[in-house]
Amino acid sequence: MSDASRIDISGVTKLYGPVKAVNNVDLVIEGGSYCCMIGPSGCGKTTLLRMIAGHEAPSSGRIAIGGQDVTHSRTGSRGTALMFQNYALFPHLSLTDNVAFSLRVKGEATEPRRAKAREMLDRVQLSHLADRLPSELSGGQQQRVALARALITNPKVLLLDEPLSALDEFLRLRMRVELKRLQNELGITFIHVTHTQPEAIALADQVVVMDHGLIEQAASPREIYNHPHSPYVARFMGGQNVLAGKVESISGDAATVTTADGHRHDLPSAPGVTPGAEIRFSVRRDRIHILPEAPARNGLTGKVINTEYQGTFVKVALDTGTREEFIIYMPDEAWFARPISVGETIHATWEPAASHHLKGTNNSAGTPLED
Amino acid sequence: MAQATHRRGLGFYLLAGFFALFVIFLYGPMLVIFILSFQGPTGGLTFPLRGVSTHWFGDLWTSTRYGDLGGAFRRSMILGAMSLLITAVVCLFAGLAFRKRFIGAGPLFYLAITSLVVPGILLGLGISQLFQLLGFRLNWWLSGLGAHLSWTLPFGLLIMFAVLNRFDSSWEEAARDAGATPSQTLRYVTVPILFPGLIAVALFGFTLSYDEMPRSLLTVGGKNTLPIEISNMTTNVTTPALYAIGTVTSVISFAVIAAAFACIALIQKRRARAKRGA
């Protein structure tokens, strides 16, 4: 099964007039894995998904599913099923007939196809509503119908276009669990487009971070989170502070960096950098401690501009004189032992191991645009 | 709430009076004709009524004074039916085609709309000249139909645009994704979802053709359609039979509209029944 649902994308470009929606993308998605494509609106993630589904043809490049070139084969014959963002349920058909639609176009007789559809509806716990019309369902129910309609074709690859974005927070978390369970059960490849970071981190075996038609980084969630490729990925995925400085000296792979305000930082691993180079690095927000005095290295000083209690930790935002806020996630115990008030000047420090050199050059802010 | 219980000012009564005048102006004439068509056998074209009877309706069918009313009615109904069918089919596909910005879509659209703007009588003259140049004899079912379509098609197209405005093309994509061929997508998804709107387009095709006159005048050839026949009657008939024919044609127009609404209601009922699991 797993090789039959592997996806190879090589050199795929999609032009809309002069605009490169997807720009020479190479990507391998292992069969049977859960892949999340993430990026701000207009980054090309949905276009890439629609090209895999066959709703758009690439301007150049090649897409193969299970080793078979499907670049120009017909939608609906390449073993993919797409779940639409707005679900696109047929408003004039009952749930049973919605789910049975693909069997109908294959010429299957009415009774057997309805029986199969009811079975599939049972699987998504909606058999009691089998004769309703889509307009009579809640958003969550509509989504499960869309899922049943996609799965009845026995696809090798299920493509989900922002499947959870229309649901409220509570349902979103529940459906997230449901999707993961379903993927484990079916063992087919899921490709899920989202612009919500926790969703991607929670679901994916492989996270693909995109920006401006390019893949910035494709790796496991842990790798993306701990070793972001570029300042953009670090900022977009969150949980990191991005700092900039000039390389002062190197020894082996390790480097010493000086920031504009004179603080010195140790980077344990920054292969390929040269003294004098301007580089950026990230620091995990939850690996930072507060000190009573300014540290000699690997730290900084800033004025508290905001504190936010988050339940298990407290988010402290510092103004360090750069345009970017420096954020510290403090354990709630530490914070309540010595509360910090807005306006106070504090000193922060971290182990060199919490610093990570950002090799990529994409320095955009990475705030996801609202749809 | 406070707004609703507030005392109504002078403006309200002025506007309400104006609206009442408007309604009277709109429906008054029709009502007068309707009442006068039930004039007694000795009554004239004006009030007062001399008794109430259906004499003039009977007179319409039995008297020979009124020309070929029956034939004109039959021709208008057939023309209306042909316009209905052609308008619905052509506007469906034209509407679907205009969703894609094909080359020349803009000019083609304006060309289609132009025939709504050009004075009908001139268009009729042009059509009659063209058909004769091409060697066809003017006939109500040929040049007459052409003239009617020059009126119903652009109208239908505009309504089709409004209908398609609420049509989500992801339904078609979902059908394609499920493996449907283009013709299956059209049959199982596009047409069924658009059907109520198509009825509206077809209805316009019929009613616009049924009472069309300026374009028909010079294009129907030797045999008249109903509006032309009635127009002729106004010049040489001086009995309330004139009102009777007005009442009959209005009733037919309303009947067609009612039939269309019944059709839509029936579809909705069938869908509701499908939902209950019949």
Eight-class DSSP state of B221: B
Lowest mean pLDDT among A115-129, A354-368, B30-44, B81-95: A354-368
pLDDT at B63 over 60: yes
Consecutive H or E run containing A34 = strand A34-38
What pLDDT does residue B1 have? 45
> Which of A221-225, B88-92, B230-234 bottoms out in mean pLDDT, i.e. has the lowest?
B230-234
Is A252 inside a domain boundary?
A: yes
pLDDT for the residue numbered A22: 92
Report the b/e string of A10-30 with b at 16+ CB within 10 A. Answer: eebbbeeeeebbbbebebebe
pLDDT value of residue B101: 83
**Shared-domain flag, residues A18 and A71:** yes
How far apart are the C-alpha atoms of A94 and B187, rounded to whole Å? Answer: 17
Q: Is the pLDDT of residue B270 over 90?
A: no
Q: What is the CATH number of domain B67-236?
A: 1.10.3720.10
Q: Region A83-105: what's the mean pLDDT?
A: 92
| Residue A369 confidence class, pLDDT cut points 50, 70, 90 | very low
Burial class (CB in 10 A: 0-12, 13-18, 19+), B224: buried
What pLDDT sits at residue A40?
A: 87
Q: How far apart are CA A256 and CA A37, in angstroms?
A: 35
- Domain limit, last residue, from A202, A226, A250: A226
Mean pLDDT value of segment B233-245: 83
Q: Of A193, A226, A259, which residue sits at a domain end? A: A226
B178 and A91 in contact by Cβ < 8 A? Answer: no
From the number of C-beta atoms within 10 Å of its C-beta (0-12, 13-18, 19+), residue B115 rates as middle
Average pLDDT over residues B85-96: 95
Tell me if residue A278 falls in helix, strand or coil.
strand
What's the whole-model pTM score? 0.81
Banded model confidence at residue A28, pLDDT cuts 50, 70, 90: very high
pLDDT in tens, A301-313: 999 999 999 888 9
Q: Are A187 and A2 in contact (CB under 8 A)?
A: yes
Mean pLDDT of B103-110: 90
Burial of A147 (0-12, 13-18, 19+ CB in 10 A): buried
CATH number where A217 lies: 3.40.50.300
- Closest residue by Cα to residue A277 from A359, A362, A365: A359
Residue-averaged pLDDT of chain B: 87
Indicate the number of domains in chain A: 2
Q: Are residues A221 and A243 in the same domain?
A: no
Q: Quick check: A90 and B171 CB within 8 A?
A: yes
Environment class of residue A62 by beta-carbon count within 10 Å: exposed (0-12), middle (13-18) or buried (19+)? middle
- Does the beta-carbon distance from A76 to B193 stay under 8 Å? no
Collect all residues with Cβ–Cβ distance below 8 Å to B151 and sequence separation of at least 6.
Answer: B115, B116, B120, B208, B209, B212, B215
Task: Check whether B46 has a pLDDT greater than 90.
Answer: no
Alpha-carbon distance B192 to A92, whole Å? 7
Rounded Cα distance between B103 and A211, Å, is 33
A214 and A261: one domain? no
pLDDT value for B181: 92
**How close does chain B come to A280, measured CA to CA in Å?**
43
Residues A147 and A180 in one domain: yes
The residue among B121 and A3 whose pLDDT is bigger is B121
Structural domain contains residue A309: yes
* Whether residue A217 sits in one domain with residue A272: no
Say if residue A320 is in the same domain as residue A179.
no
Domain shared by A176 and A264, yes or no = no
Give me the pLDDT at residue B274, please. 60
Average the pLDDT over B32-39 and give the result.
89
Kindly state the tokens that stand for A163.
């499947």
Q: What is the pLDDT of residue A370?
A: 35
pLDDT at B278 over 70: no
Tokens of A11: 């050199």
pLDDT at A305: 93
Say if CB B123 and CB B150 are below 8 A apart.
yes
Domain match, A142 and A24 both: yes
Q: How far apart are CA A97 and CA A130, in angstroms?
A: 9
Whole-complex ipTM: 0.82
Q: What is the pLDDT of residues A282-299, one digit of tens each?
A: 999 999 998 888 888 899
pLDDT over 50 at A371, yes or no: no
Q: Is B176 on the interface with A (CB under 8 A)?
A: yes
User: Taking each helix axis from N to C terminus, what angle separates B241-276 and B191-210, rounded to the nearest 10 degrees?
Assistant: 180
> Is residue A213 assigned to a domain?
yes
Mutate to test the interface with B, among A92, A97, A129 (most CBs of B within 10 A): A92
Q: Do A185 and A249 fall into the same domain? A: no
Whether the predicted pLDDT of B5 surpasses 80 = no
pLDDT in tens, A329-351: 999 888 888 888 899 999 999 99
The answer, for B264 touching chain A at a CB cutoff of 8 Å, is no
Measure the CA–CA gap between B138 and A34, rounded to whole angstroms. 70
Indicate the pLDDT class of residue A367, thresholds 50, 70 and 90. Answer: low
Are A90 and B276 in contact (CB < 8 Å)?
Answer: no
Do both A281 and A165 map to the same domain? Answer: no
For A246-265, write each residue's pLDDT tens digit.
998 888 888 899 988 888 89
User: How far is residue B136's CA from residue B138's CA, in Å, rounded to a whole number?
Assistant: 6
Interface test with B, best of A47, A51, A80, A105 (most B CBs within 10 A): A105
Return the ∠ at Cα B71 (arms to B67 and B75), rounded to 5°.
130
Q: What is the DSSP letter of B39?
A: B
In the block, which residue shows the tokens 């180079």? A277
A71 and A142 fall within a common domain: yes
CB A277 within 8 A of CB A246: yes
Q: According to the model, what pLDDT value does residue A2 have? A: 63
d(CA A157, CA A80) in angstroms, rounded, equals 5
Domain-embedded: residue A231: no
Please give the mean pLDDT across all residues of chain A: 89
Of A226, A247, A263, the last residue of a domain is A226
| Residue of higher predicted confidence among A159 and A339 | A159
- Reported as a pLDDT band with limits 50, 70 and 90, residue A95 is very high
Taking CA atoms, what residue in B is nearest to A83?
B174
**Residue A50 to residue A14: CA distance in whole angstroms:** 11
- Which of A101, A114, A129, A142 to mutate against chain B (most B CBs within 10 Å)? A101
A16 touching B, CB under 8 A?
no
Q: What's the domain range around A123?
A: 7-226
